[in-house]
Chain A
Amino acid sequence: MTPLLKYTLRLADNALIIGHRLSEWCGHGPVLEQDIALTNMALDHLGQARSLYQYAAEQVNNMPAAEKKNLFTGDAIQGLIREGGMIDEDNVAYLRDGWDFCNILLVEQPNNDWAYTIARSFFYDTFNYFFYTELRNSKDTTLSAVAEKSLKEVLYHKRWSGEWMIRLGDGTEESHTRIQQAVNDLWMYTGEFFKMDEVDTTMLQNGDGVDLPAVKMQWEQRVAAILEEATLQLPPTGWMQDGGKQGVHTEHLGYVLAELQFMQRAYPRHVW
């Protein structure tokens, strides 16, 4: 798999999985306005995922046949490619197996309660903001266009989750305790955001990718500032769990995919 395809899929999978997680709140929000806010943000992520999956599918379709042979472990999509068919964004989203997904681990973590959902969004939105800001300078014109477009939407997300961090942290004793717990528990999944592997390095060297350690500095500053305003403790540096970018996931992703992909797996190539 080319570094560009891997990179595109990582971004797309992040967007799809966080979008799906947020959409699980639909009809369960604490108040109607927040229910609508969550589904709006889920829709933004889904739209971004669609643009990126379209780009991934286009890259696969343009590859020479020999390079397409072992792109994915899942035979549902690999079979389609073997038959010589063109794939589209839906195939990439619905027909790959867990091993083929390369989203960061944070986005697949369960909603749990309102505090966990907010903390997860806060860490991710802050990262997304600085990441997409940098990705706008990518030499790859599709990635830079997606970044430019997405960034405007990420601004709303970042504001929403940042405000909620302050509201909960600096709120009641109960809300403070619960958001602090969520921050502590999810902290170990944030190290993966910034870990450069050979895909990131190649993309950066080509002028197509983002310098993650540079994003890390901005992210840490911002997170520390908001946690302080929210009267919350910044967790100590410690063990960070990674693996998602390489396709090694927590047990939660399987459940997400079982629900997300159900229709296409139960009724292959079904359309309506």
Chain B
Amino acid sequence: MGTIEIKEGGVMSELTESRIYEWLSAVTDPEVPVLTILDLGIVRKVSISNTEKGAAVTISITPTYSGCPAMDVISVGIRMALLSQGIKDIKIELQLSPAWTTDWMTEDGKRKLKEYGIAPPNRKAFQPLGFFEEEEVTCPRCGAADTTLVSNFGPTSCKALYKCLSCFEPFEHFKCH
């Protein structure tokens, strides 16, 4: 396959996967807008092919949780991001396996979450906790380790509710999943 070129700012330039990843880094999660879809690790594959009509791009994404309503919005976001770069032939595939895990979240993503006021996932996922056992989570506001679980379920599937016993602020924890 030869080089695929696109017109950018009036000049032709080569279309590469890294170029597409750059564009995708502008697409954010509508429910946690501080994270991009790359921070979350939900983009699994990018492939480019050449058709008679020009470049065709296929993006494989994986849902965080089965019922995550953000996936449809994210798909639209990806489509808009590529369309604005002149890519017209866009295919978005939903990939279920391997199942998404917070282990794929970037370190940069975790830092941004914390700055945003959400405690990031703090350990490797898939070591389930026992009954009545609580995740040890540090308060994203004051840094205290003295926190308590309010509920394992929060405003979105990916978050649990906590309360800091030092500064008494309630906060959300992005669950290790």
A and B bound? yes
A residues bordering B, Cβ < 8 Å? Answer: 33-34, 36-37, 40-41, 43-48, 50-51, 141-142, 144-146, 148-153, 155-156, 159-160, 162-163, 166
Contact check, A47 vs B68: say whether CB atoms are below 8 A apart.
yes
Contact check, A47 vs B96: say whether CB atoms are below 8 A apart.
no
**Which of these, B66, B100, B131, contacts A51 with CB under 8 Å?**
B66
Please indicate the chain B residues that have their CB under 8 angstroms from the CB of A155 in the complex: 128
Does B46 lie at the interface of the complex (its beta carbon under 8 Å from any beta carbon of A)? Answer: no
Contact check, B128 vs A159: say whether CB atoms are below 8 A apart.
yes
Does B67 lie at the interface of the complex (its beta carbon under 8 Å from any beta carbon of A)? Answer: yes
Does B152 lie at the interface of the complex (its beta carbon under 8 Å from any beta carbon of A)? Answer: yes
Please indicate the chain A residues that have their CB under 8 angstroms from the CB of B96 in the complex: 51, 142, 145-146, 148-149
Chain B nearest CB from A154 CB (Å) reads: 10
Q: A148-B96, A153-B157 known; 5 other A-B pairs, CB under 8 Å?
A: A44-B67, A48-B66, A149-B97, A149-B100, A156-B152
Contact check, B132 vs A44: say whether CB atoms are below 8 A apart.
no
Closest to B66 in A: A47
A149 with B99, Cβ < 8 A, contacts A44-B66, A48-B66 known:
yes
Contact check, A160 vs B152: say whether CB atoms are below 8 A apart.
yes
> A-facing mask of B85-117, CB < 8 A → 1, else 0?
000000000001111110000000000000000
Please indicate the chain A residues that have their CB under 8 angstroms from the CB of B126 in the complex: 152
Contact check, B65 vs A33: say whether CB atoms are below 8 A apart.
no
Contact check, B97 vs A37: say whether CB atoms are below 8 A apart.
no
Please indicate the chain A residues that have their CB under 8 angstroms from the CB of B100 in the complex: 149
Contact check, B152 vs A44: say whether CB atoms are below 8 A apart.
no
Question: How many angstroms between the C-alpha atoms of A125 and B97 in the bound complex?
Answer: 22
Question: How many angstroms between the C-alpha atoms of A141 and B96 in the bound complex?
Answer: 10
Please indicate the chain B residues that have their CB under 8 angstroms from the CB of A43 in the complex: 65, 67, 69, 157
**Which of these, B65, B69, B129, B154, contacts A153 with CB under 8 Å?**
B65
Chain A nearest CB from B140 CB (Å) reads: 20
Contact check, B128 vs A36: say whether CB atoms are below 8 A apart.
no
Contact check, B152 vs A37: say whether CB atoms are below 8 A apart.
yes
**Which of these, B63, B65, B131, B154, contacts A36 with CB under 8 Å?**
B154
Contact check, B99 vs A36: say whether CB atoms are below 8 A apart.
no
Chain B nearest CB from A269 CB (Å) reads: 20
B residues bordering A, Cβ < 8 Å? Answer: 63, 65-69, 96-101, 126, 128-129, 131-132, 150-155, 157, 161, 177
Chain A nearest CB from B130 CB (Å) reads: 8
A37 with B153, Cβ < 8 A, contacts A43-B67, A47-B63 known:
yes
Q: Which 5 A-B pairs have the closest CB atoms?
A: A47-B67, A47-B66, A145-B97, A43-B67, A33-B151
Question: How many angstroms between the C-alpha atoms of A34 and B161 in the bound complex?
Answer: 12
Chain B nearest CB from A157 CB (Å) reads: 10
Chain B nearest CB from A156 CB (Å) reads: 6
Chain A nearest CB from B119 CB (Å) reads: 17
Contact check, A36 vs B153: say whether CB atoms are below 8 A apart.
yes
Chain B nearest CB from A158 CB (Å) reads: 9
Question: How many angstroms between the C-alpha atoms of A36 and B161 in the bound complex?
Answer: 11
Chain A nearest CB from B133 CB (Å) reads: 9
Contact check, A50 vs B66: say whether CB atoms are below 8 A apart.
yes
A44 with B151, Cβ < 8 A, contacts A145-B96, A152-B126, A162-B131 known:
no
Question: How many angstroms between the C-alpha atoms of A74 and B15 in the bound complex?
Answer: 50
Contact check, A148 vs B66: say whether CB atoms are below 8 A apart.
no
Closest to B177 in A: A152
Contact check, B152 vs A159: say whether CB atoms are below 8 A apart.
yes
Chain A nearest CB from B106 CB (Å) reads: 20
A159 with B177, Cβ < 8 A, contacts A44-B67, A48-B67, A149-B66 known:
no
Chain B nearest CB from A16 CB (Å) reads: 12
Identify which of A145, A152, A155, A163 gathers the most chain B CB atoms within 10 Å of its CB.
Answer: A152
Contact check, B132 vs A163: say whether CB atoms are below 8 A apart.
yes
Question: How many angstroms between the C-alpha atoms of A13 and B77 in the bound complex?
Answer: 31
Question: How many angstroms between the C-alpha atoms of A271 and B58 in the bound complex?
Answer: 28
Please indicate the chain B residues that have their CB under 8 angstroms from the CB of A144 in the complex: 97
